[in-house]
Every structure is written in structure tokens, then in C-alpha cells.
């Protein structure tokens, strides 16, 4: 088996959002990028470049939190809200809107970040008899 293509960081994973208390599907699906994808890494690099270029080079909790939120927002490649709404509307995807959603709804952030970080979501099918990690 050629393991060089076992994980494809550029594949998308379909995340079905679950209600935070009941874990019932909400009818909202997000297509998620891997945390190792080029789009997500671009955001991480921008934060690192800004930090390294700053004269003060002072890392704060709010800067770290902003990086995590930006990384989660960048992981959302597309979304479908089905019959659900966000603040009374069917939101159009933009980085800013995705950032708003993951910042204001921690439970959505948790699901998006978890799906993006879970490498198994971006693995090719394994031969019969093998288990995904």
C-alpha cells in the first residue's frame, strides 16, 4: 500500500451540526476543510507573520483566541442551513460571517474545530480488515 496518499488534507468533510444538548441533527451541514489544508494554513501563517513582525512581540490571550476562531472560520468551505436560520436569516458564507458564527456559538466552534482537526475525516478508505484511527 502506498501510504503517501492515505490522508488528503484538501478533501472536504461533511459535518452535520448536532444540537448541543440532545445531539440530534439540526438539518445544517457544513463542508469542512482539514486543519492541514492550504486554506487553513494560510490563516495560521498570517497570524504568525503578524506576531513575528510586531515590535512588541507580545502574545496575548485574545490574540491566541482570535487565531483559533479564524482557523475554525477558514475551515468552513461551504454551508447549508436547511430550514434553520442564524439571527433571523439564511446566512451567505463569507469568512466574516463564518467567524461571527463560530465566535458567538461556542458549540458550533467545538464541532467545526473538532471535525477539522480529526485527521480520520480526511483519510482514504482503508483496505478491508483495517480500522480508521
Assigned CATH for 10-122:
3.30.2220
Tens of pLDDT, residue by residue over 32-48, are 999 999 999 999 898 88
Reported pTM: 0.86
Q: Tell me how far apart the alpha carbons of residues 25 and 36 are, in angstroms, rounded to a whole number.
A: 26
- The domain spans of the chain are 10-122
Tens of pLDDT, residue by residue over 53-111, are 776 667 778 888 989 999 999 999 999 999 999 999 999 999 999 999 999 999 999 99
Amino acid at each position: 500500500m502506498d501510504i503517501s496518499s492515505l490522508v488528503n488534507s484538501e478533501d472536504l468533510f461533511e459535518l452535520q451540526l448536532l444540537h448541543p444538548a440532545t445531539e440530534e441533527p439540526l438539518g445544517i451541514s457544513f463542508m469542512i476543510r482539514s486543519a492541514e489544508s492550504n486554506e487553513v494554513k494560510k490563516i495560521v501563517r498570517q497570524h504568525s507573520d503578524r506576531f513575528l513582525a510586531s515590535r512588541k512581540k507580545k502574545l496575548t490571550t485574545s490574540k491566541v483566541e482570535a487565531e483559533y476562531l479564524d482557523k475554525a472560520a477558514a475551515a468552513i468551505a461551504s454551508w447549508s442551513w436547511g430550514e434553520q436560520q442564524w439571527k433571523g436569516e439564511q446566512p451567505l458564507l463569507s469568512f466574516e460571517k463564518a467567524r461571527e458564527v463560530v465566535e458567538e456559538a461556542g458549540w458550533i466552534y467545538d464541532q467545526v474545530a473538532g471535525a477539522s482537526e480529526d485527521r480520520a475525516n480526511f483519510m482514504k478508505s482503508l483496505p478491508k480488515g483495517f480500522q480508521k484511527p
